[in-house]
């Protein structure tokens, strides 16, 4: 199954709620992805541009998109970005396939 890296940031209101009532959000994240047949591989908080990162496995892009949309629509996040991760083998296959594409620069 494909892997997905999600970067997210909470709203100030969400942080305020978590300060008042600390909660382990891994359980909620696990429930969301398992609902579409996937698996949560990791959940981390961080300093920097994003408040947290998750590593998910999902059956397909549609399932992951549905999960990301549902979480994003909940209003607790100020930003969410999901990246499809490629395995080394997938990247090697893409590199081999790219060699058959005869790209021309604009105006060439």
Q: Does residue 86 carry a pLDDT above 90?
A: yes
Residues 25-54: pLDDT tens digits? Answer: 999 999 999 999 999 999 999 999 999 999
Q: Rounded mean pLDDT of 88-95?
A: 96
Cβ atoms of residues 6 and 50 within 8 Å: no
Mean of the per-residue pLDDT values for the chain?
Answer: 95
Q: State how far the Cα of 69 lies from the Cα of 78, in Å rounded to an integer.
A: 13
Tokens representing 78? 């100020």
Please tell me whether the overall predicted TM-score, pTM, comes out greater than 0.75 for this model: yes
Instruction: Delimit the domains of the chain by residue range.
Output: 3-98
Q: State how far the Cα of 62 lies from the Cα of 50, in Å rounded to an integer.
A: 24
Q: Rounded mean pLDDT of 53-69?
A: 96
CATH of 3-98, one of 3.40.50.720, 1.10.287.990, 3.40.50.11260, 3.30.70.260: 3.30.70.260
In the prediction, which pLDDT does 107 show? 87
Q: Determine the distance from the C-alpha atom of residue 91 to the mean position of all C-alpha atoms in its chain, rounded to a whole number.
A: 19
């Amino acid at each position: 199954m494909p892997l997905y890296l999600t970067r997210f940031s909470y709203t100030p209101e969400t942080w305020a709620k978590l300060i008042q009532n600390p909660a382990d959000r891994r359980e909620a994240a696990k429930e969301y992805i398992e609902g579409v047949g996937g698996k949560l591989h990791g959940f981390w908080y961080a300093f920097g541009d994003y408040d947290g990162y998750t590593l998910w496995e999902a059956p397909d892009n549609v399932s992951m998109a549905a999960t990301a949309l549902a979480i994003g629509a909940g209003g607790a996040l100020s930003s969410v970005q999901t990246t499809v991760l490629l395995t080394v083998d997938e990247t090697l296959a893409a590199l081999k396939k790219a060699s058959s594409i005869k790209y021309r620069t604009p105006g060439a």
